[in-house]
Amino acid sequence: MIAIVNYGLGNLTSIQNMFKRLGIEAVITSDFETIKAASKLLLPGVGHFKKGMDNLKESGLQDLLNEEVLVKKKPILGICLGAQLMTSHSEEGDVDGLNWVSADTIRFRTESVPGLKVPHMGWSDISTKDQNPLWNALPAEPRFYHVHTFHFKIKDESATSATTHYGYDFVCAFHKDNIYGTQFHPEKSHKFGMKVFENFAKL
């Protein structure tokens, strides 16, 4: 069973519905015992970084997730804001994150690309950079749907899993041990996103 962690921000139902289409059990929950019993976790998110961290801390979910992910090594997939929260720090609110991955979350550098509009919204091809099992048997020329103003700035290059281009190349997915993160939205990415979710469920 996959626990979709509900901390008050995110496209929870659309994620759950895609798992249902795949015949995979996934529950939306903030219940500690359900999260502990899950075989895998998914941390979604749409919204402001500081609000996300505040919600995780105030609910007690931050300590629980640290135990499940860092100590018990349970596989977890972060999506969009959920993945950004796994980084060390964000320019959005100037606040520290979970610090699971050596990376920061930064705003698009529009000053370096005149006319670049943010947020980055729409479909973009990705270029995979490692043997991440989430990429297994992806359809040809994988494309994923993005909606974001901030993106990862990876410090540990070994964690870079995929890049894409919007004004300039940036990291759109990372992988470190049992921790997976995507800036794009698999739940909005049709057959490409379905394959990513299917592969995650097989971990």
Give catalytic residue positions. Answer: 80, 185, 187
Exposure string (b/e) for 147-171, b if CB count within 10 Å is 16 or more?
ebebbbbbeeeebbbbbbebbeebb
| Residue 134 backbone class (left: φ over 0; alpha: ψ -120 to 50; beta: rest) | alpha
- How far is it, in rounded angstroms, from Cα 33 to Cα 11? 22
**Token duo for residue 48:** 């402001």
